[in-house]
Chain A
């Protein structure tokens, strides 16, 4: 693979995409992985600003790309601006290993173009309802890794989490599903282990 691996992070607004990235950046800062982030917020640079404030990454490694009121288009039908931003980051930081591209958030039909990313995650959350995996949206089915976030909220929103997880696993027919709680950081190490194995090819042999 030439250049940094490009990882898409999609999923509905509010499911915890930025929270997951914040957690991943902590881990990458600790182990020295060279990373950069591109955000696609709908109308602001809020996610980018939040990540910059987090201080885990030099501010110039975080770029915000405007989606022209169309978060779908900018990751699939016309991912040009994200490609250009990723190219710019690679040129500026030659040792870059990983570029995380956060979608502005969209419905369950959104998918990433493989022109843009090498691998993509779809983040849904427990509070969004346990029927989400049953709806079999292309995002849930086609992503390389499905993350079900906010497991901590299951008792508060009346969701039978083991059942939701089982539905998701059945819908995915054996492709990976990871449960996470980004409030406390649970599941994040598993997500990173997946990326190491499937994308970075730096998994440590057991």
Chain B
């Protein structure tokens, strides 16, 4: 995105797909943050570390390779294979289910918008032929929409950071101004990971232990999906 007017269509496409107003259901996921705040595992002051760890320990080692594989997969069978491998890489049921639910939501919205590939992916997922993990679906959908891989990764990483920050805002733990500073602080890490995409075939790994435990904790009165 360095250059001149010729790159503006690509920039606009990325801005549109990555817009916080793009519907996809993501706003209702806190990825354990709601429970962690309630249990005192993090608080206002430690929030930056929590969200930073989610990027370093979940998004970089797990989501980014999952997305890259989804972006690279050519054809329905290859994509389903990759999604099944990503499915197996989840060590626990709660994050696996949440990732699938979030991916299914994205497919629901994008199919309604008639984005390229979305309807077919949604049908495959609804009939059990495809595990609709969120980063894998982002990779597949955004490639079909015309994004290159580094841009798709950047969108996903920034979306993860912004999603967590905005959940924190709605939970009353962060202000909208402070959220921007926090997200800006994460941009270099996201950019680094996006600029050097995971090698072909690299499997998702990683164990964001603290937030996964928060995801596993029963939370009867929760505002968020997780």
Residues of chain A lying within 8 A (CB to CB) of residue B225 = 66, 68, 81
Contact with B along A1-35 (1 / 0, CB 8 A): 00000000000000000000000000000000000
Tell whether A140 is near chain B: CB-to-CB under 8 Å. no
Residues of chain B lying within 8 A (CB to CB) of residue A74 = 28
Tell whether A67 is near chain B: CB-to-CB under 8 Å. yes
Q: In the complex where A67-B28, A68-B29, A87-B126 touch, is A80 in contact with B23 (Cβ < 8 A)? A: yes
- With A68-B27, A68-B224, A91-B126 known, 6 other A-B pairs at CB within 8 A are A66-B224, A70-B28, A70-B170, A79-B23, A80-B109, A84-B105
A83 to B23 Cα, complex, angstroms:
11
Contact with B along A60-88 (1 / 0, CB 8 A): 00000111111001100111110110010
Contact A81 B105 (CB under 8 A): yes
A45 to B70 Cα, complex, angstroms:
34
Residues of chain A lying within 8 A (CB to CB) of residue B222 = 43, 66
Tell whether A107 is near chain B: CB-to-CB under 8 Å. no
Contact B105 A80 (CB under 8 A): yes
Tell whether A190 is near chain B: CB-to-CB under 8 Å. no
Task: From the candidates A68, A77, A78, name the one contacting B223 in the complex (CB within 8 A).
Answer: A68
A80 to B29 Cα, complex, angstroms:
12
Tell whether B24 is near chain A: CB-to-CB under 8 Å. yes
Tell whether A191 is near chain B: CB-to-CB under 8 Å. no
Tell whether B208 is near chain A: CB-to-CB under 8 Å. no
Contact B221 A44 (CB under 8 A): yes
CB distance from B109 to the nearest CB of A (A): 4
Task: From the candidates B23, B104, B126, B223, name the one contacting A66 in the complex (CB within 8 A).
Answer: B223
CB distance from A71 to the nearest CB of B (A): 10
Contact with A along B14-52 (1 / 0, CB 8 A): 000000010111011110000000000000000000000
**What interface size band does chain A fall in?**
20 to 34
A93 to B12 Cα, complex, angstroms:
41
Tell whether A42 is near chain B: CB-to-CB under 8 Å. yes
A81 to B221 Cα, complex, angstroms:
18
A: residues with CB less than 8 A from B are 42-44, 65-70, 73-74, 77-81, 83-84, 87, 91, 115
Residues of chain A lying within 8 A (CB to CB) of residue B23 = 77-80
CB distance from B123 to the nearest CB of A (A): 11
**What residue of chain B has the Cβ atom nearest to residue A113's Cβ?**
B23
Tell whether B3 is near chain A: CB-to-CB under 8 Å. no
Contact A73 B224 (CB under 8 A): no
Interface residues of B in 95-118 (CB under 8 A from A): 104-106, 108-109, 112
Tell whether B171 is near chain A: CB-to-CB under 8 Å. yes
Interface residues of B in 153-172 (CB under 8 A from A): 167, 170-171
Contact A69 B171 (CB under 8 A): yes
Contact A69 B126 (CB under 8 A): no
Residues of chain B lying within 8 A (CB to CB) of residue A66 = 28, 222-225
Task: From the candidates A42, A67, A68, name the one contacting B167 in the complex (CB within 8 A).
Answer: A68
- 17 A-B residue pairs with Cβ-Cβ distance under 8 Å, sorted by A, are A43-B221, A44-B220, A66-B223, A66-B224, A68-B29, A73-B27, A74-B28, A78-B23, A79-B23, A80-B106, A81-B25, A81-B225, A83-B108, A83-B112, A84-B104, A87-B108, A91-B126
Contact B126 A81 (CB under 8 A): no
Residues of chain B lying within 8 A (CB to CB) of residue A79 = 23
Contact A81 B28 (CB under 8 A): yes
Contact B224 A69 (CB under 8 A): yes
